[in-house]
Amino acid sequence: MHTFLYVKCNFFVHSHCADSSDSPSPPLSFPTFTMDRPLLRRMSASGCCSYSTLKAWLPILSWLPRYKLKWLQMDLLAGITVGLTTVPQALAYAEVAGLPVQYGLYSAFMGGFIYTLLGTSKDVTLGPTAIMSLLCFSVVGGQPHRAVLLTLLCGLIQAVMALLRLGFLLDFISFPVIKGFTCAAAVTIGFGQVKNILGLKDVPHQFFLEVYYTFYKIPEARIGDVVLGLLCLAVLVMLMFMKMGLGSEDVPPCSRLARKLVWAVTTMRNALVVVAASLVAFSWDAYGHHVFTITGKTSQGLPPFRPPPTSDTMANGTVVSFGEIVEDFGGGLAVIPIMGLLESIAIAKAFASQNDYRIDANQELLAIGVTNIMGSFVSAYPVTGSFGRTAVNSQTGVCSPAGGIVTSVIVLLSLEFLMPVFYYIPKACLAAVIICAVAPMVDYHVVANMWRIRKLDLLPFVVTFLMSFWQVQYGIIAGVAVSGAMLLYNMARPQIKVSDHGVLVMELSSGLSFPATEHLSHIIHTQALQVSLPRSVVLDCHHVSVIDYTVISELRDLLRQFKLRDVQLVFSRLQPSVLEVLLAADLQGLRHTDSVEAALQMEGSCLNRTTEKTQENLGNLWNS
């Protein structure tokens, strides 16, 4: 007996990579997969090993057989461009994480190889980012061994979430919480680099102390660092605005060439500024003038491939066990994997929508998880998708995830041959790169939009924003808690629209779950049962799709209360699944109709019969 697996494929076609001159065969496609779950559960052992199933877990098998040589040019160009952006950013983000600069490069190459095999977006690039660097520092405090162990644990958590299809948990982190966190992170990271612009030392890392001591130590600022840092900032900002001001590609050939040249320079602005600043620092240092604070000695060569350490040794010789390290990680061990997944999937969805293809969220979870697991063997700290580098990748016209391999090779070459050159990179220059990278994350427009659309959403935003200055992970946890409380309140207190048609019609504006039963019972008692003349009620259940045992128990009691007062409770517009549960509960006196109008007619007839009977009784009493 054969078992068949149904796989639904969605393909992307990128405009830069289409070749109209080829045969009618479809261009290179990059599918995502949605499996029919009942069939998946019934698959036999042989079905589990089928080629279709293998393609679902390894998306590279879907697009690599159709790869065209013409696409190689675009992937090479994109990979080189992103690589020249990645190297200076990785060095800078290692500073944010409180780690030696080479750890930024250690974290920047594994993602390109793994994502090529497992990723479902052609645009996404995985590597160190400002937010993950800040989160890493908040948890490990700049200790390299612990950062590497954190990478392994984060990868395991992310991979398990992918295998168990737990990606839906990310939906419980609301947009205001994400925006509150990213805005606070941008302010924290940006201001944390002011001390490097000024050339200050021995400034605490805790945000409020950092603000105080930065201003307190301004008289100790080094003129060389200040001048170089501000000059780098000015050049980066100027180049960024030049890129934003580029017009459309519909221009004469000569102008098109100039436009491409300007685009190339502005896109690689970080690398160009770092190289120029390093040459300046080297020149001054060669003449014996140490006017800049430089990066200093770094480890040369590729990192050894070895398992991450499961214990740590303190400066005084004390050995810290694995359990103690995990205990020290605390809530960060939950926050970092989730924020990494959230950031990367949001980026993947944004560019999939922009370039008209689909991604598989759970496969993305797996790709990030495996990247972090394998990265921990080469001394990487936790990584995720980078919005800036992904944008560069997309704009350069990448045609497949293979562009990430080129980027990774550039990082590896930098580790092998360029580490001695990085000795002369001024810290003020890296600080300027970081400030320009995080500045767009301060999205003040979102505050005005939330105020205009729904003011209550500012509450989790403000809580997350303010708490993140104390401890980053606590800010996220507090924001999620506030959002969860608001969500639970809406579930427990659904809006009930009451209208009077001779009988009361109560329409539930949302579902009816067990937290809402007490609220519904209170409304019915105060408006129908505990008045001088009890009234019948028609309950419009059109929006109720799920009902549980607690609700059934409350409805049974309400039906009894209505019967004692000689009035009716009628259910209308019940969903078939809800009606099935009510009938299975065998509620005495249950009455239901297909529409509110039918329920009103039913109650009108009952009311007329009751009125006639009352008049007849009064007449008999009068005659007697």
Same domain, 440 and 532: no
Same domain, 109 and 207: yes
pLDDT digits (tens, 9 = 90+) for 49-88: 577 788 878 999 888 888 888 889 889 988 998 998 899 9
Same domain, 395 and 346: yes
Same domain, 500 and 599: yes
Q: What is the pLDDT of residue 44?
A: 42
> Between the ranges 356-365, 468-477, 520-529, where is the mean pLDDT highest?
520-529
Q: Is the predicted pLDDT of residue 307 greater than 60, yes or no?
A: yes
Same domain, 137 and 237: yes
Nearest-5° Cα angle at 218, 213 to 220: 105
Confidence (pTM) = 0.75
Question: Sorting pLDDT into bands at 50, 70 and 90, what band is 21?
Answer: very low
Domain annotation covers residue 478: no
Lowest mean pLDDT among 87-91, 113-117, 352-356: 352-356
Q: Which residue from 433, 465, 476 is spatially nearest to 343, judged by alpha carbons?
A: 476
Domain annotation covers residue 1: no
Q: What is the pLDDT of residue 41?
A: 45
Q: What is the pLDDT of residue 157?
A: 95
Domain annotation covers residue 415: yes
Same domain, 508 and 402: no
Q: What 3-state class would DSSP assign to 358?
A: coil
Domain annotation covers residue 157: yes
Domain boundary residue among 405, 434, 455?
Answer: 455
pLDDT digits (tens, 9 = 90+) for 144-187: 999 999 999 999 999 999 999 888 888 888 889 988 988 998 89
Domain annotation covers residue 4: no
Q: What is the pLDDT of residue 230?
A: 95
Nearest-5° Cα angle at 391, 128 to 177: 65
Same domain, 291 and 395: yes
How many angstroms separate the Cα of 624 from the Cα of each of 126, 193, 326, 612, 620? Answer: 94, 99, 90, 18, 6
Domain annotation covers residue 343: yes
Q: Is the predicted pLDDT of residue 7 greater than 50, yes or no?
A: no
Which residue has 């004692």 as its token pair?
564
Strand partners, 7: 35
Domain count, the chain: 2
Same domain, 289 and 389: yes
Q: Which residue from 180, 209, 214, 187 is spatially nearest to 130, judged by alpha carbons?
A: 187
Q: Is the predicted pLDDT of residue 39 greater than 50, yes or no?
A: no
Neighbours of 15 (CB within 10 A): 8
Concatenate the DSSP letters of all residues of 528-587 into one string.
IISSSS---EEEE-TT-----HHHHHHHHHHHHHHHHTT--EEEES--HHHHHHHHHHT-
Q: Is the predicted pLDDT of residue 244 greater than 60, yes or no?
A: yes
Q: Give yes or no for a contact between 180 and 465, defined as CB atoms under 8 angstroms apart.
A: yes
Q: What CATH number did the domain enclosing 548 receive?
A: 3.30.750.24
Domain holding 591, by residue range, is 496-622
